[in-house]
Amino acid sequence: MSLLEVTELSVRYGEETVVDDLSFSVNSGESVGIVGESGSGKSQTALALLGLLPRNANLSGSIRLDGNELAGKSDEELDRVRARRIAMVFQDPAQALNPYLRVGRQLRQILLQHRLASGKAADVRVIDMLQRVGLPDPVRQFRAFPHELSGGMRQRVMIASALIAEPDLLVADEPTTALDVTVQAQILDLLETLRDSTALLLITHDLAIVAGRCERLLIFDAGKLIESGATTAVFSSPQMPKTKQLLAAAARLDTGPIPAPVSGETLLDIERLTVSYGKAAAQRLQAVTDVSLSLRTAETLAIVGESGSGKSSLVRALLGLVPPQSGAVVYAGSQLAGSLQARLSGQRRDLQLVFQDPVAALNPQMRVQKIVAEPLQVHERGLSSAKRRERVAAMLAKAGLDKSFLDRYPHQLSGGQAQRVGIARALILGPRILICDEAVAALDGSTREQVLELLKNLQRESGLSIIFISHDLAVVRSMSHRVAVMYLGRLLEVADNASLFSTPRHPYTKALLDAVPVPDPRRALQAPPLGGEAPSMLSPPRGCVFHPRCAYAKARCSEQRPELREFAGVRVACHRADEISLNARY
C-alpha cells in the first residue's frame, strides 16, 4: 500500500476551481516532483495535504495517509499528523519562522508537542539536528533569532524543523526559489542526503531542479494533473504540449545559440566607480568598489552575481538614483552628474530602467495610458493629447499589447503584461541605453521567453544598448554579448559570452556555472560547487574577496588583493588565473 493516496481531490474558491479532480499516490521513501507554472495549483495541493487551506477554500475528495483519511479532519486531529507524519518546507523561510522565538525553542516545541523528548534530551536532539543540516556552530545558533541568520541558513533551520520529528512525508514547496544559485545547490543536496526513509514531494516550477532528484514527476497545468511518469520517461518522451513547453523553458547552459560579440563604438564608460552607504566610516557599507566597465552601441552587457554582490547598487549609481562616492560615468563623451537632478534632460532621457517587480513599478492608481504617457508629458510638452495617445498606443503595440490595455489599471494586468507596460514606458522616449534589473526574474518560463524576445527585437530595430542584470545564467547566456561577474561589490571577471561559458577564468565564475541545475535526469548529480555563503559586505575579507570560499586559494590570495587584468582576451581578477585551468562542467 502506498504511503499517501490522494483521490479526486478538488479545491474551490467560490466559483473558481484551483485544483481539479486530482489523484496520485506516493510510496514510502519515494521522491516525487510536482512541476507547473504559477497558478497551476501545485501550492494549493501542498496546503491541502497539510490541512492548511484558508477558511474560504472548499475541499472535496480524499487524502489518505497510511489508509487514514485526512480530508475534513479537525485541526486538533491534524496537529497529531503535522510535523510528526507530514512536514513542510516553505518557499520563504523568513516568513515561516517565528521572528520572536529563538531558533532552538522553535525546534524544541515540535519535540515537546509530539512528546518525542523533553528537557535536556530535547535540547541535545535539537542541537544534533542543527548540526546535521550544516549550521556552523549549532550550540550558539540554538540561541539565535531567525533574523540573525542568512537566507540560506534560515532555510537549513526550516529543513531541520521539518525533519526533527522524523516524518514519513516531507513536502517542500519551492524550497530554493528565494535563494541564490550556489546556496540552492547546497540546500537541494542537503534535502537529498538527510531525508533517509522520508518520502519527498518536491514542488517547483523548474524542471532542472527535479531532473536528477525525483524518481517520478507529476506535471500540473491550470489545476489539473496533465502528465505523470518516471522522470526519465517524462524528459525523453513528453506527451502533452504543456510538458514540452515546460521542458523547452527549462533553459540550459549547454545548448542554443550564443549572440556573437558586437564591435561598435563605446557609448558608456564606467570608470572606477565606488558606491557606499552610511556616513560614519565604521559603519560604511561599500556596496560597489572600483568597478570599471564599458558598454558599446547595440550591445547587451550582462552583470551577474548573487544577492549582495552590488549589482543593483551599481545600476542605481549609473542612473543617478544614488550618488557615487568616487569614480565617473561617462556617457557619449561627457561625464554624467552624480545625482539625477543635476543631469541634463537629454541625458536623463537616454538612460532608462526596467524594474524587477513589474507590478510594484507601476502606480496602482494610474491607467496604463497615463503611465506610458508620463515621460512624454515631461519631455515633449508641446504634444497634443490626441498625438500623445497615438504615440502611447503605437509604443504599446510594439511591446505586444493592443489598444484594449490603454484603460486598464496595473492590478488588471498579469506579470508579463505589466512588464511589457514597464518596457513601453522606458522606451517611449527612445533611450539609447536600457537597464534591465532582474527584469524577467518574476516571470514564468514562457512569458519570460516572450519578454526576452521582445527586448532582442527592439535592440535589432533601434540599436539599443542593454545592461542586463540577472542571477539567472541561462537567461544571460541567451541574451548577452558580454558578461561581467560581480562578487561582494567587485568585478571578478569580464568576458565575451562564448568564452565565459566555455572557459571561465575565475574560480567563482566556474562555481556559478556549476551550480546551475541541469535539466537532464541522465546526468549524475554533482556535489555543490561552493560551501558556505558570501561574507558580509560590512567586513569583506582581506586579500581576494573570494578566497575564503575558493578551492584554489593560496597564501597570497588572503594577503594581496588581485587587480582586474587582461588575460587570454578576458579581464579577470585572480592571482592564479594563468596557473589553473578551469572548464565548465558542460
Partner 1 sequence: MKKSGAILLAILLLAIVGPWLSPNDYLTTNFDGILKPPGLSGAHLFGTDDLGRDLFVRTMLGIRVTLLVAVVASLVSLVIGVTYGAVAGYVGGRVDAVMMRFVDTLYALPFIFLVILLMVAFERNFLLIFVAIGAINWLDMARIVRGQTISLREREFVDAARLVGVSTAGIIFRHIAPNLLGIVVVYVTLTIPQAILVESFLSFLGLGIQEPQTSLGALVDAGVNQMEGASWTLLIPATLLALILLCFNFLGDALRDFFDARRAP
Give residues in contact with partner 1 (CB under 8 A): 319, 321, 340, 345, 348-349, 351-353, 355, 357, 360-366, 374-375, 378-379, 409, 411, 422, 425, 429
- Other Cβ atoms less than 10 A from the Cβ of 327: the count is 18
Residue 392 CB, nearest distance to partner 1 (Å)? 13
Residue 499 CB, nearest distance to partner 1 (Å)? 33
| Residues 54 and 236: beta-carbon distance below 8 Å | no
Residue 278 CB, nearest distance to partner 1 (Å)? 15
Q: DSSP readout, 109-146?
A: HHHHHTTS--HHHHHHHHHHHHHHTT-SSHHHHTT--G
Using the minimum distance from each CB to partner 1, give the nearer residue, 208 or 443.
443
| Residues 324 and 271: beta-carbon distance below 8 Å | no
Residue 301 CB, nearest distance to partner 1 (Å)? 19
From residue 444, alpha-carbon distances to 120, 318, 371, 448 in Å are: 47, 28, 24, 6
Using the minimum distance from each CB to partner 1, give the nearer residue, 348 or 420.
348
From residue 404, alpha-carbon distances to 81, 339, 384, 385, 424 in Å are: 50, 38, 21, 18, 15
Using the minimum distance from each CB to partner 1, give the nearer residue, 378 or 568.
378
CA distance 106 to 146: 10
Could you tell me which residues come within 8 angstroms of residue 438 by beta carbon, excluding any fewer than 6 positions away? 356, 469, 470, 471
CA distance 36 to 351: 37
Using the minimum distance from each CB to partner 1, give the nearer residue, 115 or 411.
411
Using the minimum distance from each CB to partner 1, give the nearer residue, 365 or 404.
365
CA distance 492 to 291: 10
CA distance 243 to 169: 26
Residue 470 CB, nearest distance to partner 1 (Å)? 17
Q: Is 29 left (phi over 0), alpha (psi -120 to 50) or beta?
A: left
DSSP letter at 359 equals: T
Specify the amino acid at residue 71.
A
Using the minimum distance from each CB to partner 1, give the nearer residue, 34 or 469.
469
Residue 39 CB, nearest distance to partner 1 (Å)? 19
Using the minimum distance from each CB to partner 1, give the nearer residue, 225 or 351.
351
From residue 566, alpha-carbon distances to 245, 290, 340, 496, 577 in Å are: 41, 16, 33, 13, 10
Where do we find the cell 588581485?
Answer: 562
Chain Cα centroid distance, residue 568 = 32
Residue 102 CB, nearest distance to partner 1 (Å)? 30
Residue 371 CB, nearest distance to partner 1 (Å)? 8
Residue 321 CB, nearest distance to partner 1 (Å)? 6
From residue 545, alpha-carbon distances to 110, 386, 489, 491, 580 in Å are: 40, 56, 9, 10, 18
| Residues 68 and 4: beta-carbon distance below 8 Å | no
User: Residue 539: what are its φ and ψ, rounded to 5°?
Assistant: -135, 75
Using the minimum distance from each CB to partner 1, give the nearer residue, 307 or 502.
307
Q: Is 97 left (phi over 0), alpha (psi -120 to 50) or beta?
A: beta
Helix (H) or strand (E) holding 74, with range, is none
Residue 375 CB, nearest distance to partner 1 (Å)? 4
Using the minimum distance from each CB to partner 1, give the nearer residue, 162 or 319.
319
Residue 519 CB, nearest distance to partner 1 (Å)? 32
